[in-house]
Amino acid sequence: MKICIDPGHGGDPGAVGPTGVAEAHVVLDVSLYLETLLRDFGLETVLTRRTDVFIELSQRCYIANKAQADFFVSIHANSNGPQAIGIETLYKTADGKALAEPVQRRLVEATEDVDRGLKQRSDLYVLNGTGMPAILPEIGFISNPDTEFELKTDDYQQLIAQAIRDGIVEFLQIPLPTSPPPID
């Protein structure tokens, strides 16, 4: 089983929080943690980027399709003013929705953030251009000062990565250990 992890943005900051925390940096760190966690379960991973570099949307899809990934997970942080809160997971297809459901549930349980639910979207390039079920978790509103503070910490980034991992392995019906392996 192969998962393509797409840290959103890169080379551009993406959304920027009130104190200057960049979405691109947060989602890259979460993605690198997620890669380690998925590999601990014997899953293969491919990342669309490993540094703060710009990758065209078409190239992100090309990377996933060329690698023949089984699933595509594009990680992002939302922005909509300082009062906005919550987590949502976007998908396009029924297969994407099936993966999005446990990922969304695990993210909300782990973070105790507001559940903004699943959102079907047909207008997002990476959900359209990948030849496998694809999801786009929005891991919180970086525009909210409290969420921005959490998103910049290693502990919270690891918590997010573990929640996404737990949702993926639940979907794949891989048993979770009673205590998760530590992140190296």
Q: Tens digits of per-residue pLDDT, 117-167?
A: 999 999 999 999 999 999 999 999 999 999 999 999 999 999 999 999 999
Q: CA-CA distance, 181 to 162, in Å (whole number)?
A: 10
Residue 181 has pLDDT above 70, yes or no: no
Q: CA-CA distance, 43 to 36, in Å (whole number)?
A: 10
pTM of the model: 0.94
Please identify which residue in the block is written with the tokens 């899809």: 61
pLDDT digits (tens, 9 = 90+) for 17-76: 999 999 999 999 999 999 999 999 999 999 999 999 999 999 999 999 999 999 999 999
How confident is the model at residue 59, as a pLDDT? 98
Structural domains of the chain, ranges and CATH numbers in brackets: 2-171 (3.40.630.40)
Work out the pLDDT band at 175, boundaries 50, 70, 90. Answer: confident
More confident site: 183 or 106 = 106
Instruction: Cite the beta strand spans of 2-154 per DSSP E.
Output: 2-7, 44-47, 71-78, 87-91, 115-120, 134-141
Sorted by sequence, the CB contacts under 8 Å of residue 39 that are 6+ apart come out as 45
Q: Taking Cα atoms as reference points, which of 131, 50, 55 lies closest to residue 93?
A: 131
Residue 177 has pLDDT above 80, yes or no: no
Residue 102 has pLDDT above 80, yes or no: yes
Sorted by sequence, the CB contacts under 8 Å of residue 28 that are 6+ apart come out as 7, 10, 49, 50, 51, 52
Q: CA-CA distance, 56 to 156, in Å (whole number)?
A: 28
How confident is the model at residue 174, as a pLDDT? 87
Query: Reading across the β-sheet that carries 44-47, which strands appear in turn?
Result: 44-47, 2-7, 71-78, 134-141, 87-91, 115-120
